[in-house]
């Protein structure tokens, strides 16, 4: 790679701290379009900025028009050369694309997928993140041979809007743990790594943390559950 193509150390955004990310050029994702959900705050916003700075055209989603427009302006300010567009939509019934180490606490009960028999916040959150890993696994299987990849990642414990408006254990941790938490920009690194690093171009169906592949829990490696969850979810959406 020519020297003039690499990002100068002084200009390098703070998120480019992994060795392989240091080689990324500002035009690394030129010609690509990134669809970033949940971009009004936290990691979604940081990922939108990061991808925009790497040259991708960025489509961001928001469910509230005023918040969405404010986010759009902020992202455009932080990634001035990027083409950023806003789409309004509510994903109330869909799982997030960011998984978590909390998936290890999850347990899927196919007879009670909506937790109608009993609700425990941590268990349900863990299960949603387990489902996230399983969906990724099944999506990757379905995309095999297409050239399209699907991966998920654990971002660490991140100082975002997450848990702030809850009453329970999430707001407790968000309150006392804030100073020890990662910034959204640091947490976004693995997502940006997955989007741009040549060495993961053909990697699919994996779970990463800190830009390294990590083995998820045994439940998250259950291909039969992954397939079943996909099929049940399809039926629920129809």
Ligand X SMILES: NC(=O)c1ccc[n+]([C@@H]2O[C@H](COP(=O)([O-])OP(=O)(O)OC[C@H]3O[C@@H](n4cnc5c(N)ncnc54)[C@H](OP(=O)(O)O)[C@@H]3O)[C@@H](O)[C@H]2O)c1
Binding site for ligand X (CB under 6 A): 38-44, 62-64, 67, 90-92, 96, 98, 100, 155, 157-158, 160-162
Considering the complex, what minimum distance in angstroms separates the CB of residue 85 from ligand X? 16
Considering the complex, what minimum distance in angstroms separates the CB of residue 39 from ligand X? 6
15, 125, 193, 207: which one is catalytic? 125
User: Please, which residue, 29 or 158, has the CB nearer to ligand X?
Assistant: 158
Q: Are 160 and 186 in contact (CB under 8 A)?
A: no
Considering the complex, what minimum distance in angstroms separates the CB of residue 96 from ligand X? 3
Considering the complex, what minimum distance in angstroms separates the CB of residue 8 from ligand X? 29
Distance CA 156, CA 174 (A): 13
User: Please, which residue, 92 or 145, has the CB nearer to ligand X?
Assistant: 92
Judged by DSSP in three states, 85 sits in: strand
Instruction: Tell me the CA distances in angstroms from 166 to 29, 118, 169, 195, one per residue in order.
Output: 37, 18, 8, 32
Beta partners for residue 61, in sequence order: 87
Please report, in angstroms and rounded to a whole number, the separation of the first and last CA atoms in the chain: 49
Distance CA 47, CA 158 (A): 13
User: Please, which residue, 64 or 213, has the CB nearer to ligand X?
Assistant: 64
Distance CA 225, CA 228 (A): 5
User: Please, which residue, 44 or 106, has the CB nearer to ligand X?
Assistant: 44
Q: Are 190 and 208 in contact (CB under 8 A)?
A: yes
Considering the complex, what minimum distance in angstroms separates the CB of residue 150 from ligand X? 16
Beta partners for residue 60, in sequence order: 36, 86
The residue to which tokens 């500002």 are assigned? 26
Q: Token digits for 21?
A: 């990310």
Residue 125 known to be catalytic: yes
User: Please, which residue, 146 or 165, has the CB nearer to ligand X?
Assistant: 165
Query: Edge-to-edge strands of the sheet including 152-154?
Result: 152-154, 207-209, 212-213
Q: Which residue minimizes CB distance to ligand X?
A: 42
Judged by DSSP in three states, 59 sits in: strand
Catalytic residues: 125
């Amino acid at each position: 790679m020519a020297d003039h193509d690499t990002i100068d150390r002084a200009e390098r955004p703070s998120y480019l701290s992994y060795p392989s990310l240091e080689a990324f050029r500002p035009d690394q994702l030129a010609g690509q379009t990134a669809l970033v959900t949940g971009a009004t705050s936290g990691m979604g916003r940081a990922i939108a900025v990061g991808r925009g700075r790497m040259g991708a055209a960025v489509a961001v989603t928001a469910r509230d028009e005023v918040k969405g427009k404010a986010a759009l302006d902020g992202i455009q300010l932080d990634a001035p050369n990027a083409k950023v567009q806003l789409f309004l939509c509510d994903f109330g019934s869909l799982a997030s694309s960011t998984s978590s180490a909390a998936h290890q606490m999850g347990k899927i009960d196919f007879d009670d997928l909506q937790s109608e028999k009993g609700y425990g916040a941590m268990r349900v959150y863990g299960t949603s993140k387990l489902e996230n890993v399983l969906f990724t696994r099944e999506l990757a299987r379905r995309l095999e041979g297409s050239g399209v990849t699907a991966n998920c990642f654990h971002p660490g414990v991140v100082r975002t809007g997450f848990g702030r408006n809850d009453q329970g254990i999430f707001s407790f941790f968000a309150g006392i743990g804030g100073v020890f938490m990662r910034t959204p920009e640091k947490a976004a690194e693995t997502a940006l790594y997955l989007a741009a690093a040549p060495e993961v171009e053909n990697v699919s169906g994996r779970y990463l943390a800190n830009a390294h592949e990590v083995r998820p829990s045994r439940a998250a490696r259950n291909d039969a559950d992954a397939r079943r969850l996909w099929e049940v979810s399809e039926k629920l959406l129809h």
